Amino acid sequence: MTGFVRLDGVSHRYGGIQAGPEGVLAVEDLSISVGRGELAAVVGPSGCGKSTLMKLATGLQFPFKGSVTVGEQRVSKPVKIAGMAFQAPTLLPWRTTLDNLLLPLEIVEPHRSRIRRSKAEYVERAEKLLASVGLGGFGSKFPWQLSGGMQQRTSLCRALIHEPQLLMLDEPFGALDAFTREELWCVIRDLHAARGITIILVTHDLREAVFLADRVFVMSSRPGRIVEERKIDIPRPRDLEVTFTKEFQDIVH
């Protein structure tokens, strides 16, 4: 198996007193490979291990069996070339939009050592990123002054501010209304096209998966494993009108 992100025969369990002596087996013999620059979607029932896959791929947790590789490096610590965005934007309410974007750079090296002496350069990068998702001019606003969709755009920008090679999206649009969700599909589509970044999207929404992805991976119920893989042959660039076509509906079905 080859790929920029690879999980080979991975098994992982969660422990704890309530889980019993052997814990809860979250994923078992899970194998997946995502190529560099690919946009892959992972779908499956609740509790099947989709979020566990995300944690394993970014080095936030480690399997008791199998191997995880990102960029040809065996994952043994948190992956610095990855950015993550979640369903909840988790923006700090006392920081402006711009300052929320800059927060990861104030923590992670090598940016932490550089940001004080090159603040203007980093602010310019953040403002360009905000403009690219339709938030130009909103850098001075606080999270409570933004709509849910605008907060999620800010969260995406924060995941991209350190220019990662891998973007992990864990149900980022699940809490949004249908109109805002589809608007943000287009934001992700355009970011992927412009940057060529590798993206792994975890979602419950089959329409979202088919619209955005090059390939869709379907997971079984817990313990999770890949039970089906489907290549999406709909040509890019895709607009929302394609979601009404018979070809699209057949793939979703």
Q: Output the six-digit token pair for 193.
A: 């096209």
Q: Output the six-digit token pair for 67.
A: 């191997």
- Report pLDDT digits (tens) over 187-209: 899 999 998 999 999 998 999 99
Secondary structure class of 218 (helix, strand, coil): strand
Q: Output the six-digit token pair for 103.
A: 């927060």
Return the number of other C-beta atoms located less than 10 Å from residue 96's C-beta.
17
The one-character DSSP state at 74 is E
For residue 210, give the H/E element and its range: helix 206-212
Closest CA to 222 of 55, 8, 30: 30
- Report pLDDT digits (tens) over 145-200: 999 889 988 998 998 888 889 999 998 887 788 888 898 899 899 999 998 999 99
Q: Tell me whether residue 208 is exposed, middle or buried, using C-beta atoms within 10 angstroms of its C-beta: 0 to 12, 13 to 18, 19 or more.
A: buried
Secondary structure class of 128 (helix, strand, coil): helix
- Report pLDDT digits (tens) over 5-23: 999 999 999 875 444 456 7
Distance in angstroms (rounded) separating the CA atoms of residues 116 and 110: 12
Domains annotated for the chain, with CATH where assigned, are 37-63+77-252 (3.40.50.300)
